[in-house]
Structure 1
Amino acid sequence: MVGTGDEEPSGCGPGSADDQAAQFSAMLEDSAVDLYENAPCGYLSTLMDGQIAKVNTTLLTWLGYRREDLVGRRRFADLLTVGGRLYHETHFAPLLSMQGEIGGIALELRTADGTRLPVLVTSVVKTGADGQPLLIRTTLFDARDRRAYETELLRARQEAEEARLEAEQAHRAVEAERARLQRLATTLQQTLLPPSLTAPAGLEVAAHYHIASIDEVGGDFYDLFPLADGAWGMFLGDVCGKGAAAAAITSLARYTLRAAAVYDPDPAAVLANLNTVLTHEYHGADPRFCTVLFGVLTPDTDHRDGGFHLTLAAGGHPPAILLRADGTAHHLPTHGGQLIGVIPDAHITTTSVRLDPGDTVLLYTDGLTEAHTTHLGRPKGDDDGRYGDQALLDFATRLAPTTAPATITALRGLLDTLGGGVDDDTALLALSIPHPIREPKQ
């Protein structure tokens, strides 16, 4: 067939392969933009100084901001709560700088109307062809469902209490619900304590957590962790109250203490940081507070037999007990420290002591000293039927000289003896310096 000369060249018509490919490419580009802007998670790109350069529609909707409110005007840290900014500056940002990537970190954002939005954050540093960092890309996942876990736990407990008041035919259902709650409480309690403690070189360490009731999540906590230049940080504390609310404060206190110690290991400064976080995050009609001992152990490299220097700061917590190698024991003078989280400028007391070979230091919460003893036949006396600080000091004196493991073993036996009189959780942490093993003379 002879053409008329008006036909379009092959491959160039409106329905040609080239046009279809171009249209498909345009659709792909539109889809990619839409996928970024309306993804089920928030996306954020910042310069290396934290200034926001790009943000998707999803995150803007979560926060209630306009794009022009954030891009070029705010830093990522500006979107965080006070506690979140402290954690970001002392922990998150330094780790990201060192590793180039950090993921699954729980933070809280402050929305435009002042409410809090819990998120899980993953950040990656993007580099150029020369290997130099260019920007930080951050993905944020809505973590409100995780926060709802505490509400679910409280709701389930209330249901269990109501079920116990029902008729005898509901007894099995009540018991099953109670067992489920116990498993939840035990699991939550375990997440608030370190799975194990590593002893610094030249020290022995032992700890114990005594649960007074498997139905309640307690607020006692402790930890031991390395700091710079061979120093070690240690803390032990007690949050006011029980249950999911106390567990939330316990978790915040633990990571704040560790993060603050990395930033400035001075014990008084660490407790001041925790006080600032608690008074900012929890105030008004529902304040949350705790008692804490925080110490820094520094090896004494100048002494022939070694030893450590211990600087201890206290915020309203019972004083530690020092069991000396010579068989004596006494409280370390930290009386007068105020509760952490009640007032903005809480008074914090500090003391310093040298630990020699054969010495042991014991930290404890008041679940032990506040235990009832009248059921054992002891008169009420000056402590009004409580075990008391003096009784614990006398008990420690009989142990000295001793070691950290032996101290904790003895105190576990004491707690067993007190039995049902211990109606509050008790945390115990002990450290000791072994006597050096000397080689026999030739």
Structure 2
Amino acid sequence: MAGAPEASPGESRLRRVPPAEVEAARMEAVRRYDILDTPPDGAFDRVAAMAARLFDVPVASVTIVDADRIWFKAIHGLEGVAQIGRDPGLCGSAILRDDALVIPDTRTDPTARTNPLVTGPLGVRFYAAAPIITADGHRLGTVNILDTKPRLITEADTENLADLAAVVLDAMELRLSGLRLLREEQERRKAEEEARTRAERDTEAITAFATTLQRTLLPPALPPVPGLELACHYQTDSPRDVGGDFYDVFSLGGQRWAFFLGDVCGKGAEAAAVTSLTRYTLRAAAQHHDDPTEVLDALNSALLLDPSMGSRYCTCVFGTLRPAPGGGFSVTVAMGGHPPAFHIQHGDDGAMVVNGVRPRGGMLVGALENAQFASRTFHLAPGHGLLLYTDGLTEARLPDGTMLGEEGVAAFLTTRTTPDAGRLIEDTIALITDLPTGPGDDVALLALSVPLAPATEQTAALSTARTLATPVAGAARADQER
């Protein structure tokens, strides 16, 4: 934005004049993302709209700072502005910082009161910006919020603004991956005309790229959760497609944990973008909402912000875990249009009892503005297990051509001998493998179980993302001492 303020003496985090070599490296990073002067993009427009809505401000923007200009990749609430000069400029000052720049009242701030945005027709009285910082420390631009009246924001608000800047960087990284994929594909097509052997090598390269991209959308390892065993499995329908299934387990602090599993509608780069936004939003919302239904509400709002997403909705089960008195965990699960989870335990006669966990009223996430979500709380006691899965499992075909279905999965689980998480995953993988045509879609599995007795040794959590192209024997387990 226009009008560069001078740094206050006490602002130790503000770099007054960037060294030439630092600015040169920053500009090289900007050019690496190849984003300047590109057409509007729904992912970035969504962030600007989300910022305006989240902070209740009239104007919000996503900017990239060029050598001599501030270029708007997205702007909400201000028409007809594509770029402005860099000097003087608020954005140009914001990228010199390691943290967010917040000016509660521009007219009383010596660094901003003479800024044209403050003295001009727009009459900006409040300004805040978070720098978009790459993994190697280069500041590409900012996410900005502006208001025409003074205001204060909390530390949590500044953290949210920084989180939005991180979302922008994620979108830029995904876009950069897509550009690289497109360029590589064009090179492959030319090579295919020259030699069949080169085409075969290119096909292998596509598979490796898709597998690598897929792994970026999944947690590299399950975390160790004291007193709980975890196991997971992921298998794509095609090694050359990026699927839309996702799962994660993470700490909420204070002995609380969260887990989720779901399925984005569709496949490919667009589904991958939605998957990235979905995983990030669930993780971020879980830090601010104790109720899992409120976490799904936040995800529903995020997915609906951009109408161009069309049918890019998802199904999702989100849950929280807290150690329960006497052993085991208190589990609260919220459903958003997802197949039921299965709570598995030994009955009084020793046979396996399987109960579906699906609160009434859980609707698809991202399909309707006023979607309703429901939750249920239950006790995952010692000796109990919980299995979550995506519809690639229930839609697998039996030898007679009919789908396995939820009833078929439940019936299969009743024949198991243990609700142990690792065995549940291994047995379910064997079920899929033994079917004539395998799964009909991507399959994600996540199992949780509480051992009857505490583990004698605490082992590290391992996670294996299994695919048809690179099968790996065994499921991922995390057996932890309570």
Q: Is the pair's TM-score, using the shorter chain for normalization, greater than 0.5?
A: yes
Measured in 1, the distance between the counterparts of 2:206 and 2:105 equals 45
Q: Which of 291, 307, 314 does residue 283 from structure 1 map onto?
A: 307
| 1:237-252 equivalence runs, <5 A | 237-252=262-277
| 1:419-438 equivalence runs, <5 A | 420-436=437-453
Measured in 1, the distance between the counterparts of 2:221 and 2:394 equals 25
Question: Is 1:319–1:335's contact at 8 Å kept on the other side of the alignment?
Answer: no
Measured in 2, the distance between the counterparts of 1:94 and 1:172 equals 51
Partner of 1:79: 144
Q: Structure 1 residues 284, 73: closer, same or farther in 2, change over 3 A? A: same
1:91 deviation in Å?
7.7
Measured in 2, the distance between the counterparts of 1:419 and 1:225 equals 36
Q: Structure 1 residues 93, 387: closer, same or farther in 2, change over 3 A? A: same
Task: Structure 1: state its 5+ residue gaps.
Answer: 1-30, 82-87, 97-101, 109-117, 121-142
Task: Structure 2: state its 5+ residue gaps.
Answer: 1-15, 28-64, 66-91, 131-142, 147-152, 456-482
| Residue 176 of structure 2 corresponds to residue 148 of structure 1 | yes
1:372 deviation in Å?
2.4
Measured in 1, the distance between the counterparts of 2:215 and 2:260 equals 17
Q: Structure 1 residues 386, 148: closer, same or farther in 2, change over 3 A? A: same
Q: Which of 289, 295, 315 does residue 319 from structure 2 map onto?
A: 295
| Superposed CA offset, 1:137-164 (max 9, x none) | xxxxxx857623224425655876x679
Measured in 2, the distance between the counterparts of 1:363 and 1:412 equals 13
Measured in 1, the distance between the counterparts of 2:104 and 2:446 equals 40
Partner of 1:203: 228
1:287 deviation in Å?
4.0
Using structure 2 for the length normalisation, give the TM-score: 0.62
Backbone CA RMSD of aligned residues: 3.8
Partner of 2:259: 234
Q: Which of 360, 367, 371 does residue 346 from structure 1 map onto?
A: 371
Partner of 1:392: 409
* 170-179 or 151-160, larger mean C-alpha shift: 151-160
Q: Which of 419, 422, 435 does residue 418 from structure 1 map onto?
A: 435
Question: Is 2:339–2:358's contact at 8 Å kept on the other side of the alignment?
Answer: no
Question: Is 1:298–1:308's contact at 8 Å kept on the other side of the alignment?
Answer: yes
SS at structure 2 position matched to 1:182: helix
Q: Letter of the 2:321 partner, please give it.
A: L
- Find the structure with the greater CA-based Rg: 1
Measured in 1, the distance between the counterparts of 2:159 and 2:313 equals 28
Q: Letter of the 1:411 partner, please give it.
A: T
Q: Letter of the 1:427 partner, please give it.
A: A
Q: More helix per residue: 1 or 2?
A: 1
1:333 deviation in Å?
2.8
Q: Structure 1 residues 279, 145: closer, same or farther in 2, change over 3 A? A: closer
Aligned residues: 343
1:291 deviation in Å?
0.5
Using structure 1 for the length normalisation, give the TM-score: 0.67
1:245 deviation in Å?
1.2
Q: Which structure has more RCO (C-alpha within 8 Å, separation ≥ 6)?
A: 2
Task: Give the fraction of aligned pairs with identical amino acids, expressed as a percent.
Answer: 38
Measured in 1, the distance between the counterparts of 2:364 and 2:286 equals 19
1:310 deviation in Å?
0.9
| 1:87-102 equivalence runs, <5 A | 93-94=158-159
1:388 deviation in Å?
1.3
Partner of 1:176: 201
Question: Is 2:397–2:436's contact at 8 Å kept on the other side of the alignment?
Answer: no
* 198-207 or 149-158, larger mean C-alpha shift: 149-158
